[in-house]
């Protein structure tokens, strides 16, 4: 990967990395068959949840969005049958989780959890609502930009990519230590989705394109810490 395209484990401006980044040399542990070939993440075992905006059968509050993209390798070859987990705050900027005590309202029709799989050409798609910003206590008057979390699984426990997707034009990006922890500005741009009118559903939802590149100089920045 290109130097500066991935965030360092210890980013002082991102406060929690001081507590959870490695402080001693890493130990290489040989991987066995279990780590490299299992489990099998298949739709038959993990049913997709592709519409987060209708998880309860009733519409969630907020601006409905469609996110579509591809998972590819460094040679732009599609990566099929990849399980993608999605989690996010609701439109008011609150997670449906007991650890989130932000005084923004919860939405009983939005749980903020989804799961999709790539098809044979590496494409995925899901429907949700645009997440809101929220305060996060990293520093004085700190607010997270609108974002969606992703976890991509490969063919074993040792193959997992965790990252975040941001939205174009968000003024909080220039102030966010997590986004800015990626040293290379060009690599940071790969974390911002692109508005796409072809994905947009008329009178229903705005569309965004967000691709994942698993390796190489154009690799998607991942969470290291």
The DSSP result for the chain, as a single string, is --TTSS--S--TTSTTHHHHS--SPPPP----HHHHH-----TTTS--B-BGGGTTSSPPSS-EEEEEEEEE-TT--B--S-EEEEE---TTS--SSTT---SSPP-TT---EEEEE--TTSEEEEEEEPPPPEE--SSTT-EEPSEEEEEEE-SSTT-EEEEEEE-TT-GGGGG-HHHHTSS-HHHHHTTB-EE-TTTPBTTTBEEEE--EE-SSTTPPP----
Evaluate if residue 3 carries a pLDDT over 70.
Answer: no
Nearest of 177, 156, 206 to residue 18 by alpha carbon = 177
What is the reported pTM? Answer: 0.92
pLDDT tens-digit series, residues 106-130: 999 999 999 999 999 999 999 999 9
Q: Give the mean pLDDT of the chain.
A: 92
Cα of first residue to Cα of last residue in the chain, in angstroms, is: 18
pLDDT of residue 32: 75
Provide, rounded to the nearest whole percent, the portion of the chain with pLDDT above 90. 72
pLDDT of residue 2: 66
Count other C-beta atoms under 10 Å from residue 172's C-beta: 16
Query: In order of start, what are the domains of the chain with their CATH numbers?
Result: 44-213 (2.60.130.10)
Active site residues: 95, 134, 144, 147, 149
pLDDT tens-digit series, residues 137-187: 999 999 999 999 999 987 666 678 999 999 999 999 999 999 999 999 999
């Amino acid at each position: 990967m290109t130097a500066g395209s991935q965030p360092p484990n210890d980013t002082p401006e991102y406060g929690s990395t001081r507590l959870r980044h490695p402080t001693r040399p890493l130990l290489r542990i040989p991987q066995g068959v279990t780590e490299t070939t299992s489990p099998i993440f298949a739709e038959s075992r993990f049913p997709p949840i592709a519409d987060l905006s209708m998880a309860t059968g009733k519409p969630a509050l907020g601006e409905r969005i469609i996110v579509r993209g591809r998972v590819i390798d460094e040679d732009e070859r599609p990566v099929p049958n990849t399980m993608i987990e999605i989690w996010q705050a609701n439109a008011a900027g609150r997670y449906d989780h007991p650890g989130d005590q932000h005084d923004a309202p919860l939405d009983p029709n939005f749980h903020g959890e989804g799961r999709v799989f790539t098809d044979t050409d590496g494409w995925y798609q899901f429907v949700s609502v645009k997440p809101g910003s929220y305060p996060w206590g990293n520093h004085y008057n700190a607010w997270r930009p609108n974002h969606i979390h992703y976890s991509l699984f490969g063919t074993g426990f040792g193959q997992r990519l965790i990252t975040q997707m941001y939205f174009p034009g968000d003024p909080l990006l220039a102030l966010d230590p997590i986004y800015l922890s990626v040293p290379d500005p060009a690599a940071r741009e790969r974390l911002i989705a692109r508005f796409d009118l072809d994905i947009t559903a008329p009178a229903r939802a705005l569309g965004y394109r967000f691709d994942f590149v698993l390796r190489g100089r154009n690799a998607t920045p991942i969470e290291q810490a």
